[in-house]
Every structure is written in structure tokens, then in C-alpha cells.
Structure 1
Amino acid sequence: MTGPVDGPHVDRPGGFRAGRPAAGRGRSGARPERPTDRRGRGGQRSAGARGRSPDRRSVDLPRQAAYQAVAAVNRDDAYANLVLPSILRDVGLVGRDAAFATELTYGTLRHLGTLDAILTDAAGREVARIDPPVRDALRLGAYQLLHTRVPAHAAVSSTVDLVRSVGPGATGFANAVLREVTGRDAEAWVARLAPPLETDPIGHLALAYSHPQWIVRAFAEALGGDLGETTRLLIENNERPAVHLCARPGLADPVTLADEVGGAPGAFSPYAVYSGGGALGDLPALTEGRTHVQDEGSQLVAQALAVAALDGPDGRWLDLCAGPGGKSGLLGAIAAQRGARLTAVEVSEHRARLVRQATHNLPVTVLHTDGRAVGSTPKLAEGHFDRVLVDAPCTGLGSLRRRPESRWRRQPSDLPALTRLQRELLAAALRAARSGGLVAYVTCSPHVVETHVTVTEAARRCGVPVDFVDARPLLPEGMPGLGDGPTVQLWPHRHGTDAMFLAVLRRS
């Protein structure tokens, strides 16, 4: 699963920084009402408030771009990594201004829960009752005040200008709320609003580090109840992650690629390169198919399947959930070196096209079909494949640092349907493997229901005999914090990767 990437993190004139992570209350779905601040002044609802763009004459371009991106995410369920680049192109932002807009966008989305809790207190009413355009502008303003080095007067005045352009009747309200926010720094606001750590540790961490409580609880459970380590994970989720590239074996050299991007070779994956920042769209190695953007953890779990010891034939590989093609691209390159061939299965037509693009000129056959269809077609015959990868659809809780909006969209109610699908896909993968063949089950989520519970249940119910293979020796020697096995859970705060889970099974 290849995640979105933030832009370069550089200081803008006047200075800004990524601030202390903070988290908080979920957003209500209540119908917006006319905002009124605690001083009794009402913000008038603007005509055409839904989707109104800021007036370029009164708002500087970086803040305008950030507002448009945040509004699209909150209004249209857009993804920041998809909408922000086009917005930056449309308004002509590059360099430091583009970096500032990126920092405002991703920072605001990461800290949204805590910002909303603070704005609720400062305004004297729930943020859900503030007109959406004004609410998004206030979120950007509060983020600048609490988590950047932008001077308070500049953050307030620029946000009021932004509100004037998207909700003209609410400028007095916005000014009053932001003045209230300036009365405390981020730590003081958390101390005021968060429940005590001693009596409600999950609630405290949720508000302090801007994650929904159910996600904090899931992380804590996966980490064995260690609240200190849970805190470190939450902090890491609120930091801007480095962009990871995969130097495809046989096609690109990691050291040479690192020089091209001004970065460095990865710490663990032999194919990983950490980008030095800046735009990668015109990188020749990307356009020529010699590399692709892929988190190092994603590379490691794919490589683990390729290096696991296997008796008998080893030429037929299967990627059962291949879109958008990152793992297929890496496995296809490895297969090319070893005389093997990969079949990549993807149920979505659009994502199947992405897999074809990602595996062009590699020994990969792409099938647009449901991975659960094993046994229904000769191309997906039972007992046919030597190595099978199941990169199962999941909540994506392991990549929240790259997808800041996901933490506010996912709900516990998503789990039953996802875990049922995961079990079905893993059972299909086990049927597809030949006797003695290997299956790697991977999720970008550490939630125990999506990891240990799914694997255990699928192995028990699949109808074929299976054994667990210890996955730890399949990862680079000396890699720390891999646990007791046989499965492996990677973590952002331990390994600098997304929180990828890996289980390897052998059909016996």
C-alpha cells in the first residue's frame, strides 16, 4: 500500500515549525448553525458558504491554498495528498510558499481533534455549529497560533482576512475566538481540556495527541498496554514522515538513487531510499519505472515473502490484492531476477490499471477480478502458486502519519466488514498456495482484530493444513523491536515505517 506524501518541510519567512502533537474530541455531525461567540456576537452565515473560495485579493496564496485543501477534505471527503498538489499548481506555489501551505494543510488535519476541542471552548459552542467555511478558517488560524512560529498578530489578522473572504459576517466572531485562543499555549490548553491522565489515560492521550479514543485504545492494546510507548507512537503519528522510495532490484541502485534525490539509503530495506525533500514528479527514475514511492515497511514485508525458504518449484507468485501496485512492482522486479512470474489480482478496474502501469516491462500478469475467486478460473487455480501475498484491505491505522484525515473518518463500525473480507481473502490465498507453498498476510494496521484474530481464525477455518513460519528471520538482521514471533508488527516510533503487520504461513 503506497501512501501519500507531504511536501518539503522548510521554514517560511517569519518562521514556522511543526508543533507539539495534540489530539482530541471527535467532530459532531450536527447541522451547522450561525456561530455566536462567548461575548454574544454572531457570525452571519455567508451566501454560498459551501465551497466558497477565498478572495485572492485579501488572502495570501499559501493560506488560500491550505484553506482550499482543508475545506475539500472536510467538505467533500477528499484526500489531502490528491487535492493539495493540484491546488498548489493552480495558484502557482513552489518552494518555500508551497512548503508553508503543505505544513498548514497537513498540520491542521493531524491536529484537528484538539483544535476543535480548543475552538469549542474558545467560542463557547460546539464547532459543529459554526459555518463550515468559517470553521475551517479558524482551524487553520488556531494551528498557526499553537503549533508554528508565525507571530500571533499575523496569524490572527491573516485568518480574519480569510474569514472575511469566505464568511464576511463572521469576522468579529473569528477575531474574538482567535484572541481567546492566544491566551494559552498548546500545553496549557491540553491541561485545561484533557481529562486527568491518572483517571482517564485513554481520554487524556486522545485529546493531548489528536487521535480518536478508539484508535488510542487499539494502539495501547497492540502495544501490550504500555502507555509510554503508546504516547511515543501518537507523537510520531503527528510528525511529518519522510518520503520513501523503492529502488527496484536490477533496475536501480539505492546509493545512486539517493544521490539523485539528495537523500540517503534506507535503514533496513536493501531497496529503500529516504528522499531529501522537494518535488519528485520529474525524477527520471520514477518516470522510467526504475523506482516508485513506497514506505520502507511495505518493502520489508514484500521482501520477507520473497526471501523465505521454499522447497520445490519457485516460479509462480501471486499478489492477491495488488492495487495500486507498489508491492507488485517490487515483487515483479525480484521475480525478473529469479526467472519467476507474478500474477497480480485487483478487484477495482481503476486500481488494476494502476497495477499495469506500475509493473510495465516486468514479468507480471494483471487480472481484474476478485481475489476470493480462487478456484473459479484456470488463471487462479487452487494449489497452483508457490508464493502468495495478501495485502488485505484494512482500516489503515498504521499509516495515519501519511493519511491525516483517515483518523477522523474511520470508525469501529468499519471493522466487522473488513475483518470478514480479510479472513475470506486469506483463506483464498491458502487455497491458492500449493502444498509446501508460502502465504504472507499483510495489513497496514496494528489493530489486533485485523492482525492476530484474523490470521488465527482464517487459518483455523480455511480447510487446508497450515503452519506458521517465524517471520522475524525474514527481516534484516539486527532489526530491533520485532517481538516474540512468529508474526511481526512494525511501528513508526520503533522502525520509522508505517505500522505494517506480517504473518507468514506454509501450506503443509
Structure 2
Amino acid sequence: MSPADDRRDASGRQRGAARSQGRTQRSAAAPSQRRRGSDPARTAAYDVLRSVDGSDAYANLVLPPLLRERRITGRDAAFATELAYGTLRLRGRYDAVIAVAASREVSTIDAPALDVLRLGVHQLLGMRVPAHAAVSETVGLAREQLGTGPSQFVNAVLRTVGRSSPQEWEDTIRAAAGDDELAGLAVVESHPLWVVRALREALVGNGRSADEIAALLAADNAAPRVTIVARPGLADTDEVLDDAGDDVGTVGALAPTAVVLSGGDPAALTSVRDGRAGVQDEGSQLVTLALTQAPLDGPDDRWLDLCAGPGGKAALLAAVAGERGARIVANEVQPHRTRLVEQALRAVPADAVEDVRTGDGRTVGTDEPGAYDRVMVDAPCTGLGALRRRPEARWRRTPADLASLSALQRDLLVSALQAVRPGGVVAYVTCSPHLVETQLVVKDAVRAVARLGVEVVPIDTPAVVRGIAPGGEVDLDDTRTDVQLWPHVHGTDAMHLTLLRRTS
């Protein structure tokens, strides 16, 4: 690779793009004047941030099709991905930096200009982009998208940011937070303070040290590796590894169905394209397999996924059910998500899928009492356990969301405990460690069904999980009957799992 090519890659520019647009690639002009526009990768990242801010879109749903549509591939696609996701993860930290550098509150900066500034600060403080390239390319983006006046403001702020190191800025914004240690941690690790407090309480409530909070927040800000599920009876891990290529994947440490990729495009895998495998967090695979392995009394023929969309857990359940001669009913309340479930199940043998339907999961228990042997309740939640994958969720949720969500979670679990037959098993799952969404929901639901004459007992969930994991080595609290996974401990999303058996 020539030195010129190396410089272009380091700045994230599409190789040859400047010539194809009629621009020269080098200039004697000042960096702020060198670019009249921006490159495709930075423009894509900017458009993602605007979609997230303007239409409440999720970056992981917006960026991949945008890259395909604009034919941004290879290193440019990787650059755009890190720029967009990294900026969203560290938005809180960067807003604190921008406020100091601009000598004004970020709430007074127009949203499009603020997004451009965030992208520039991430390049300066969070990526290996030379400072001159980060400034000139971002100013070019501002000029292209916002006009000359805003681009001058962007140039001035970014030049101020670039005069100090990342550590110096961290010290500055931590000091600005005052004497409250958690407040300083919240701004440096880019989480709302209420989320930091809730996560610390969740650690303690699950038998872990409150001192782990810094490691947990840092793990939330680390880009997760892509994990593939090889659906039993349809694909195996060896096939996925062969398909991925040499030195690209490893077998998961927790779920025997998991392959963790270090690179490549999962959509390029044959097994993923035809539905025999799929993209699914290893923690999600583990809690799904736990339901299939939990001991029950009596027949084991009919399973239910009560909240099945978008279909990852339903597909894994159905694959296992097919191997055992059981059938699954997949229920989803939203029609568009029901279609996603149907797509996820496309490779599963037809005799393993009894029905994919749209309906309110809260009524299944009264409509079909005692009709199922195993029931999965993957309840809607705040998503605080998946902030690695959906970083924008931390800025959208508020404490007020907990009341409505926990009420819904309780109603769904009550319905599931009614829908399962005596002797059958229910798995209550959330992608949140918040105690209000996990332990308290389970306690409330168990009390509620007891008033209806339904008795349940907890299953030793840690023992079931260890029986699934290769080697059985999983860091879990054996004093509890439920399981809480953590990104900083297990390398997964912070999935919660409670297994319950109905006794009468």
C-alpha cells in the first residue's frame, strides 16, 4: 500500500472518491478550507445520526441498508459503522466536551450542527483519525450539509477540542461534574445518571459488588462482536465456522449453538441467508436453550413463545422443538413483527411450527388455560441490558417508562403462568437487569397468580444454565434461583432469566 493510500484509509475516505467527484486530493489551503463537501462514509454516519434524532430510528436498523444502498463497502463501511455507533455510544461524554469547547450549553446548538460536532469529536478523541483530517473532513461535512456559517462554528469548536488529549478532556468534564462520583462516572462513561444508579442497584441486587459499575458502563460502550446461532437440526457450529472462513470465528463459551465472529459480513454466510442460522447474542441463545432444558413433569409436546417478535428466540425454540417432535406456537402483538417471525422461521420444518399468529399475549392465559408445556415470555423492556447494540436507547428511556413497562411485564408473566399446564415450565426473560423489570415483576406475578389458584415454584436456573454451557463454567450467583448475565462478566447482553414450574 502506498503512503497516499494509507493516509486516505486513516481518514476514512473512500479511495479514489475525491477524483471521481472532480476534486483534488491535496491542497495548500488551510484544513478548514480544504474540503467543500464530505466523503460517503462520513455522510452516511451523519445521516444515521439525523435519523436517530429526527425519527426515533434505531441505528442498527438504519445503517446497514443505507450502506448497501450507497454501495459503501470494505474499510469505508467499517469506518462509517464505528463513526455512527461510537458517536451514539459516547454522546453524553462528547456533549460535555462540546459544551466546554463552545462555551455554551449543547441545548442551544442546532441539532444538525450538534450531530456534526459529535462526529468530529469522536474522530478526534475516540478514533485513530489524524487531527487535521478529522477537522477538515468534518468541516467539509458541515459546509455541505449546513452551509458556510455553521461550518465556521464547527471549525472553531473542533480546533479547540483538538488542542487537548482525550485524558485531559476526561479530567476536565469529570471535574465539571463536581464531587458526586456517580455523576462524574455518568458523564465520562456517557450514561444518564438515573441509568447508572439503576445499574449499580442491579449489581448489588444480584449479589455483585457496586464497585463493578465502572466496568459495566465501559462494557456498554464497547462495540459487541457479532454472534451467530447455529439452529439445531438445521446447521451446526462447524458449518458456520467453515462458511465464515479461516480465523474469522470461534465457538461461543456459553451456548453450544454460538459462533462469535471477529470480522466479515454475517449476511454473506449461506446458513444465515437461508435461515438455518441467524444473528443472535450469545446470552439470548443461552436463556432460550435454558427453557428447552429445564426439567418438567409430564408431556413435552406443545411450546409457546408469547412475545415472539422479531423471531430470534422463536426460531431457536422451533429448531429444538423439531428435533424432539414438539410444536411451537409463536404469538406476537404487532403485525409487522409477526411477519419478521415468519421470516425467521422459514427454514424450520413445517411440522415443528403449529402457528404464527398476531394477538395480545396478555389474554392467552385466559383464552388457553393450561394449554402449553413450555412458555417463553421475552417481555418488552427498557433495553438497558443491550446498550452495546442500541446505544441510543439510553437517551430515549426515562424512569417514567418503568411503571408502564413493569405493569405490562407482570401481566404477560401472569398470562404465561396461566397458559402453562401444571408440571410445565415458564421462562421469564428481559434484556434489562433493572430490578423493577426483573425480580420485582416475578414476585408480583407469582403473588397475582396465587390469588387465581395457580401455584408456582422457582427452578434452580443457575444449575440449568451451567448444564448448557460447554464445560459448565459460568460466573453466577448460586444463592439465587434466577440468572443475571452481564456484558462486563459474560461478554453478553445483560439478559435476565427466571425459570418457574407451575405445580397446580
Would you say same fold, with TM above 0.5? yes
Provide the TM-score with structure 1 as the length reference. Answer: 0.87
Q: CA deviation at 1:90?
A: 3.1
Q: Which position in structure 1 is the counterpart of 2:213?
A: 230
**Residue 14 (1) aligns with residue 1 (2):** no
Q: Is the 8 A contact 1:443 1:502 kept in 2?
A: yes
Give the conservation status (yes or no) of the 8 Å contact 2:120–2:138.
Answer: yes
Which whole-Å deviations, capped at 9, do the CAs of 1:355-407 have from their partners, x for residues lacking one? 11211343121121011112554xxx101211111000000100000001111
What residue ranges of structure 1 are gaps of 5+ in the alignment?
A: 1-9, 17-55
**Matching residue within 472, 475, 487 for 1:481:** 475
Q: CA shift at 1:13, angstroms?
A: 2.2
Aligned residue for 1:72? 51
2:459 equivalent in structure 1: 469
Q: Residue type of the partner of 1:248?
A: R
Equivalence for 1:308: 294
Where in structure 2 are the equivalents of 1:173-322 lying within 5 Å? 173-195=153-175, 199-224=179-204, 226-261=209-244, 262-322=248-308
Structure 2 counterpart of 1:206, which letter?
A: A
- CA shift, 1:187, in A, is 2.1
- How far the C-alpha of 1:88 sits from its partner, in A, is 1.5
In structure 2, what is the equivalent of residue 53 of structure 1? none
Structure 1 residue 146: deviation in Å?
A: 0.6
SS at match of 1:223: helix
CA distance in 2, matches of 1:293, 1:182: 38
In the alignment, structure 1 residue 339 sits paired with structure 2 residue 325: yes
Q: 1:451 aligns with which of 416, 435, 438?
A: 438
Q: Is 1:401 aligned to residue 388 of structure 2?
A: yes
Contact 1:397/1:407 (<8 A) preserved: yes
Deviations, residues 52-96 of structure 1 (Å, cap 9, x unaligned): xxxx96211111111111111112211111211222223321000
Q: Could you tell me whether the CA contact under 8 Å between 2:365 and 2:414 is conserved in 1?
A: no
CA distance in 2 between counterparts of 1:282 and 1:190 reads 40
Counterpart position of 1:93: 72
- CA shift in 2, pair 1:101/1:196, >3 Å: closer
| Aligned-partner residue type, residue 271 of structure 2 | A
Q: Provide the C-alpha distance between the structure 1 equivalents of 2:51 and 2:340, rounded to a whole number of angstroms.
A: 24
Which of 114, 136, 157 is residue 115 of structure 2 equivalent to? 136
SS in structure 1 of the partner of residue 437 of structure 2: helix
SS at match of 1:125: coil
Structure 2 vs 1, CA of residues 273 and 417 (structure 1 numbering), >3 Å: closer, same or farther? same
Counterpart of 1:496 in structure 2 is: 491
Shift of 1:142: 0.6
What is the distance in 2 between the residues matched to 1:124 and 1:71? 24
**Aligned counterpart, 1:414:** 401
Secondary structure of the corresponding residue to residue 455 of structure 1 = helix
Structure 2 residue 152 is the aligned partner of structure 1 residue 172? yes
Which stretch shifts more, 296-305 or 88-97? Answer: 88-97
Distance 1:197 1:175 in 2: 26
Give 1:446 deviation, angstroms. 0.2
Q: Which whole-Å CA distance do the structure 1 matches of 2:203 and 2:7 have between them? A: 35
Question: 1: CA distance between counterparts of 2:91 and 2:334?
Answer: 31
Give the secondary structure class of the aligned counterpart of 1:412.
Answer: coil
1:369 equivalent in structure 2: 359
Question: How far apart, CA to CA, are the structure 2 residues paired with 1:428 and 1:63?
Answer: 47
Alpha-carbon shift at residue 166 of structure 1 (Å):
1.9
Cα-to-partner distance string for 1:455-492 (whole Å, 9 max, x where unaligned): 01110111311111110111125333211220000011
Q: 8 Å contact 1:388–1:438 — kept in the other structure?
A: yes
Give the counterpart letter for 1:219 in structure 2.
L
Deviation at 1:12, TM superposition (A): 7.5
Q: 2:476, 2:485 → 1: CA distance?
A: 7
Q: Which residue pairs with 1:20 in the alignment?
A: none
Does the 8 Å CA contact 1:15/1:150 hold for their aligned counterparts?
Answer: yes
Q: Aligned in 2, Cα 1:11/1:466: closer, same or farther, shift over 3 Å?
A: farther
How far has the Cα of 1:162 moved from its partner? 1.2
2:142 corresponds, among 163, 177, 189, to: 163
Instruction: Name the CA distance, whole Å, in 1 between partners of 2:359 and 2:69.
Output: 37
Q: Indicate the residue corresponding to 1:103 in structure 2.
A: 82
Q: Distance in 1 between matches of 2:289 and 2:341?
A: 18
Q: Distance in 2 between matches of 1:148 and 1:417?
A: 39
Q: Where does residue 436 of structure 1 map in the other structure?
A: 423
Please tell me the residue identity of whatever aligns with 2:67.
Answer: L
Conserved 8 A contact 1:258-1:274: no
- How far apart are 1:200 and its partner, in Å? 1.4
Q: Which amino acid aligns with 1:433?
A: V
Give the Cα separation in 1 of the matches to 2:422 and 2:337.
31
Separation in structure 1 between the aligned mates of residue 406 and residue 180 of structure 2, nearest angstrom: 29
Deviation at 1:227? 4.1
Cα shift readout 1:276-314 (whole Å, capped 9, x = no counterpart): 322222321112221011111011111111111112111
What secondary structure does 2:499 align onto? strand
Name which of structure 1's ranges 69-78 and 134-143 shifts more when overlaid on structure 2. Answer: 69-78
SS in 2 for 1:281: helix
1:11 to partner: Cα distance: 11
Partner AA of 2:166 in structure 1: A
Shift of residue 130, structure 1, vs aligned partner: 1.4
Shift of 1:158: 1.1
Structure 1 pair 414/11, CA: closer, same or farther in 2 (3 Å)? Answer: farther
The one-letter code of the counterpart of 2:299 is P
Q: Give 1:52's aligned residue.
A: none
Q: Deviations over 1:10-56 (max 9, x none)?
A: 9972278xxxxxxxxxxxxxxxxxxxxxxxxxxxxxxxxxxxxxxx9
8 A contact 1:443–1:500 mirrored in 2:
yes
Answer 1 or 2: higher relative contact order, Cα 8 Å, separation at least 6.
1
Q: Which has the higher helix share?
A: 2
TM superposition shift of 1:185: 1.9
Paired residues for 1:50-69 under 5 Å: 58-69=37-48
Moved more, 279-288 or 94-103: 279-288
Letter of the structure 2 residue corresponding to residue 458 of structure 1: A
Q: Secondary structure at the match of 1:482?
A: coil
- Distance in 1 (alpha carbons) for counterparts of 2:278 and 2:61: 17
Q: Residues 23-42 of structure 1: matches in 2 within 5 Å?
A: none
Q: CA RMSD in A?
A: 1.9
Cα shift readout 1:123-182 (whole Å, capped 9, x = no counterpart): 111112112221111110011111112111111111111111122212222111111111
Q: Please, which of 150, 160, 164 is the counterpart of residue 129 of structure 2? A: 150
- Cα distance between partner residues in 2 of 1:90 and 1:366: 31
**Partner residue, 1:124:** 103
- Kept in 1, the 8 Å contact 2:456–2:501? The answer is yes
